[in-house]
Amino acid sequence: MEQLILTAFLALFALEFIVEFGLNELNLRHISSCWTAKQLPELFDGKVSLEDYEKSVQYSLANGSFRRWHEIYDRVVILFILFGALGPLDRFAGGLSQSLSIGSYSQGILFCLAVGLVLTLATLPVDLYSTFGIEARFGFNKTTIGLYVTDKLKGLILSLVFGVPFLLVILWLMDQMGSAWWLWAFAFVMGFQLLMIVIFPTFIAPWFNKFEPLKEGELRERILALAGELGFKTSGIYTMDGSKRSAHSNAYFTGIGKAKRIVLFDTLIEQMTTEQGLAVLAHEMGHYKMRHIRRMLVVQAVFLFAGLYVLSLLVASAAFFSAFGLDPSNHAALVLFALISGPATFYLEPLINRLSRKHEYEADRFAAITLRDGKPMEEALVNLTVKNLSNLNPHPWYSAYHYSHPTPVERIAALRQCPA
Ligand SMILES: [Zn+2]
């Protein structure tokens, strides 16, 4: 049994790597050959200069080449933690909690924190190179070293403030609720998620960015008119100083019910005309109106439910622990499960992305119909593509697997089919 678990894991782990690596190679080759043939998608002809096209090709190639290395690096890290670090960290946490004598779940909490710390430190070089290497080279990075360090420290404080009580409750439920613990854990995680959705916009996000009500003017008037027309309740429209960290632009909705906020990045307002900005917001309101967000939450809940059920079976099996050389415990089960579930859930990614792309088409269509004109949405897409140096020629398999949004070409073609 032990051997079977280990073999199954290693096979899935290797397969995931081969698929990821192979898709990236296909994508890199496709981008290069399209560039050599100067094969700009027809819909972008005359809208993107050769200079911008070249820049986007360089950016995509830089990211893809880097991905090659960090796909390998990430796996080495996971294998090292699984087979080299978990055992010693568990013993260390056990020893420390005994000498400090700080309650029955302290070993579990210390163990999870230690693994979290090792993972964070191991991913730091990848994160640093991506931010200060690639993003900086293409003019996107605006983060200073000081801001980067402060962000990391704030993240650490948040994960302690929310993570420790969260873990404590989960470990307590596993310990006290018998074989039905996972149903209780499911209810708790769902409640916790809901709480985070409520407190994120008002307490957490402002710690990282400055939010100001969108200043009076045409854009504000028209967004409010649009929201009124669609019966979309919101507690306010805000601008966020996204330019503090990156030149990439975005807009999003946050919160639930009447407390929903509309947030526009200052970079988006700067880069877009009023018409285009309005189209982006109409698209976002479309997601709400068509209950896409709720549907995605339901999908997530189903996965969480299934995942916790599987964990409840594994935690009861001694072979699961011995396969990875660990002593059976609830905290070891949690960490092991988190580390090894990647290669198993990896195959669900294209399915979820497919659903997400369907939602994007629907929201685009909603925007075109609401504004009685598909042009502004189309222009906004071209604008975003050029400003963000998005890949104009992704390999179809790569985008089908990894893209949560259809490619701009696919979206524009669909928009032109709209009756509006
Ligand atoms: Zn969308």
pLDDT digits (tens, 9 = 90+) for 331-382: 999 999 999 988 878 888 899 999 999 999 999 999 999 999 899 999 999 9
Decide: helix, strand or coil at residue 78: helix
Q: Pick the more confident residue, 342 or 169.
A: 169
- Which structure tokens are listed for 407? 């490619």
Q: Assess whether pLDDT exceeds 60 at residue 305.
A: yes
Q: What percent of the chain has pLDDT over 90?
A: 65
Q: CA 143, CA 151: separation in Å to the nearest integer?
A: 10
Helices (H), 177-232: 181-199, 205-208, 218-229
* Exposure string for 347-371, b = 16+ CB within 10 A, e = fewer: eeeeeebeebbebbbbbbbbbbebb
Measured in residues, the chain has a length of 420
Query: What is the CA(272)–ligand 1 centre distance, in A?
Result: 17
Q: What is the pLDDT of residue 153?
A: 94
CA of 282 to the centre of ligand 1 (A): 10
Instruction: DSSP for 368-409, please give it.
Output: HHHTT-SHHHHHHHHHHHHHTT--SS--HHHHHHH-SS--HH
pLDDT tops 60 at residue 420: no
Is residue 364 annotated as a catalytic residue, yes or no?
yes
**Catalytic one among 20, 90, 135, 284?**
284
**Per-residue model confidence (pLDDT) at position 43:** 81
> 4 CA to middle of ligand 1, Å?
42
| Tokens describing residue 226 | 């649009």
Distance (angstroms) between ligand 1 centre and the Cα of 59 equals: 23
CA of 382 relative to ligand 1 center, distance in Å: 15
Name the CA radius of gyration of the chain, rounded. Answer: 24
Contact (Cβ atoms closer than 8 angstroms) between residue 411 and residue 381: yes
The burial of 393, by beta-carbon neighbours within 10 Å (0-12 exposed, 13-18 middle, 19 or more buried), is given as buried
The proportion of the chain whose per-residue pLDDT surpasses 70, expressed as a percent, equals 100
What average pLDDT is seen over the chain?
91
pTM, full prediction: 0.87
Whether the predicted pLDDT of 297 surpasses 60: yes
Both tokens of 362, joined, read 């629907």
d(CA 384, CA 64): 20
Distance between Cα 380 and ligand 1 center (Å): 12
The predicted structure's pLDDT at residue 166: 96
List own/partner pairs for 242-245 with CB under 8 A and 24 or more apart. 242/209, 242/266, 242/267, 242/268, 243/142, 243/267, 243/270, 244/142, 244/143, 244/147, 244/209, 244/210, 245/141, 245/142, 245/143, 245/147
Q: Give Cα separations from 362 to 286, 367, 412 (angstroms).
A: 8, 9, 13
| Sequence-separated (6 or more) residues with CB below 8 Å from residue 381 | 408, 411, 412, 415
Annotated active-site residue in 90, 135, 360, 364: 364
Residue 161, pLDDT > 90, answer: yes
Task: Please indicate whether residue 74 is annotated as part of the active site.
Answer: no
Whole-number pLDDT of residue 386:
86
What number is the average pLDDT over the span 181-203? Answer: 92
CA of 67 to the centre of ligand 1 (A): 25
Lowest mean pLDDT among 208-222, 240-254, 313-327, 403-417: 240-254
Confidence at residue 401, expressed as pLDDT on a 0 to 100 scale: 94
- Residue 302 CA, ligand 1 centroid: distance in Å: 22
- For 84, counting Cβ atoms within 10 Å of its Cβ (0-12 exposed, 13-18 middle, 19+ buried), the class is exposed
Average pLDDT of span 257-272: 85
For 24-56, how does the pLDDT look when each residue is reduced to its tens digit (9 = 90+)? 999 999 999 999 888 888 888 888 888 889 999
pLDDT digits (tens, 9 = 90+) for 313-328: 999 999 999 999 999 9
278: CB partners within 8 A, 6+ apart: 219, 222, 223, 226, 371, 376
Per-residue pLDDT at 171: 95
Distance 183 CA to ligand 1 centre (A): 32
Distance CA 38, CA 54 (A): 9
Q: Which uninterrupted H or E stretch holds 237?
A: strand 236-240
8 A C-beta contact, residue 405 and residue 356: yes
Higher-confidence position of 233 and 103: 233
- Whether 262 has a pLDDT exceeding 90, the answer reads no
Q: Is the pLDDT score of 417 beyond 80?
A: yes
Tell me if 227 sits within 8 A of 286, measured CB to CB. Answer: no
Alpha-carbon gap, residue 88 to 115, rounded angstroms? 11
CA 405–ligand 1 middle distance (angstroms): 7
* Rounded distance from Cα 48 to ligand 1 centre (Å): 23
* 173 Cα–ligand 1 center, Å: 37
Please say whether the dihedral angle defined by the alpha carbons of residues 391, 55, 240 and 166, taken in this order, is positive or negative. positive
The label of the residue with tokens 């696919």 reads: 410
